[in-house]
A and B are shown apart, each in its own frame.
Chain A
């Protein structure tokens, strides 16, 4: 009751302020009149009495302020006042306002945009009902033991999954699925590779995703391996491939040449649990039917399943960790030496630790870079504010000397900077909210072929709004506080007298702070530009790099002759023989060779061998090639010879190694005739040494690398390289046709060998473009900053310049002085930037191909570039200064 009344009083005080003010005036007037009457009664004249009463009463304005304060809304009034005042001040100076707002808009916009991408990629919950109840379970295994991994090391085996599922007390359901089940061909008229997932049969139940058509999996589908060949299609696949056939349920389709019965179509919008959309789901029990080469279900020690659980209501993450930890401990006892630690997170599209660490690593570097751009923008606006504050020195001094509190004035200046921040922040955020989805869609649609199609929902959600808001507020305070504090800390008497023209040797007010800000800008800008420079150099090198072998005129045909496609070694041999004969007969084709891994094709084969006479196993990369491979790719044999046809046909144990390998294993000796042993003690003799080339990783050619002959037993894993004198497109189509004639269901991927470079270049291209844009932004902001400060400095020192000229300095002297003063802070900041960059560029060297982190061109070119830009930015005002007429300058007020 009392509280309600008080609330009512407060609200009345807020909304009837004007009336209350009037009543307060009446009340005070009444008091004064009462006092006057008393004094008159005591014998004073009316006039004397009035003065005495006023004196006794004190300052009515101060009193009113205090009374209003007691109404409890003074802060609202003052903030409104501050904002009104700030808005008026900005409106009076539109040039400044627009510059400042745009600088902030750029900074905030870039930051919010990047954050909303990061949010969409890594922070958003899965798009399933009640997604906040879903957690991903990931394991990290420590210790010395053997473990087979099918995918990533954090995945679980089927028996481990069952253990967690049956024995936990914290989940209402725990599902498992095999991620990265990629490129399963869907049979039919035009075979097409699909992305899909093998899932536990409670998959749709736990996710609470009801299919739009048909049914989801039931436990019976997972009861026995291979028993239930059923599949649920994605809505998108159903629309694009089956023409929205309403009768699809009950029909059968072929996946990897096994027939599956369609039992359902998932709801529109459900795309599985990976960043790239799944197009179908099959029960985990069908794993061997899809991938006949491996039988993972009974393997207790092979990780291949990712786990996601739906939390029982009221259970905390700690309880989950504790409960699952007990189960993990029990499993560890079966494998001596193994300790499992579990990582449990709210489920997002990046559920597994490796993915998270990669994305968060990249994300934090990018966020740091855009944060630096924002910092430059802040320094810029701070500098502009500082310049303005100096122009308003007199006004502030007067307000301080007639009793305005410093805090009140600081608050007012802060209100102005917050106003700028919010205008800029709103502008930047609106542009981002409106464009980020479109930009992301555009970029994702233009990834090079070979990169899985990604679907990321980067639309801004409350997190992004909150981020933009907090960032904006912080920005306003960061760039507003220093100038505000500085402006209110001044020598009142000189300021009031209006002595604004500082002389040389005695820097004008705020000069030090301004120079520092310029220095900071230069330093930050330098860091960004050098980073951008290094990345651009990296890009340039990957574009122009000579991988050490010839790619022109060569076409690659990639296909899969594994048992999943119904092949065995004999059938593969027959197919290869006929296919090669067909292709050799094509017009223009003059050479056909076989290789297991395509050069730079992102296929990495590894093996362990021991040089004879040593005991230590060494890791080698290898490829399996036909004898003409080296000649076709123009990789010179520097010692010995290539494989002979006879040796190849006989599966002889011979090897060709690269120069670096020979040098590292047998330094100073001839490698020909040396032998390597595998784990089964089989010996391989080296018959040739080939020149180093970057066949495996672009930019690296010095690893241990060896070639084995492509014998008859290898025919099911080999692919074709075709050299043709004719144009590529015709050759590609002809090769595709020949393959279709032999096996219409086989997916044969025919591309130019040069296309492989694309995938290598994409990461560095994206990073280089991003950093180039950021660097350009930084440079733009920094040069606006330098220009503003120099112009302001000149305008403040016109009188001094007049004096100097009157005393005999000519235009060039003046210009020199102005430029010197402008460029000193830039130079100092730049040097600091270079030092910082030299220290952190090691981080960048991971993404740079072929160049060191201390690339001299970037480290010398960029500083020169920055200095030249600052020179240009300060040239115009300096020139203006040098052209001043001394007489006018001296009269300048």
Chain B
């Protein structure tokens, strides 16, 4: 018999969505790829830099940032976390299981809230572990040859933490694009375009415009968040975090409104 008795609440939706998240291969693969890219690319770049260090120009040595260099894998892992976010919702549409899901949880805002709690919690843990791991790995590789950074420094801790936050926000961005478009391929292309194609377009703009526009690009916000210095034309780390959060929030709210209004 049915023994447990309770209404559909945010807690029960979170439990259900957590089981769904971890019971398909795409999420697990996404997590594995996120680790592999963050740490793998981080190791490659730091090893290459270490061996090339004696030949670096004095200016390059002066402006060298051991933190952002060790976190460079994040710029590759951002596509993996985006895909995890996208598929968390679009796979419901491609399989048709969204109808079963919504008949179990008919309040759509509640469903999105539950899914977001699971996605944000899971990706935050994964991304923070990956960020700290790649930072520590990078510093270990640099050690003795290249100047290193230490977690005793508050701005270093901030950069490493924000690298994980950046990845978490991008997985939410992917998820929210999924709410709007419902199709995996379309969402992944759009997500990739936002991160890769827009910067390329901006390069073709006049230099004076570039300086004003480039700092609004998601990827530029990401590099400002993961840097211990602030490049001339960028926002500071916290301002970049705020800007990116606003982007993601706007897309998410639009996605929820769209989900509630449309037929499933």
Q: Do the two chains belong together in a single complex?
A: no
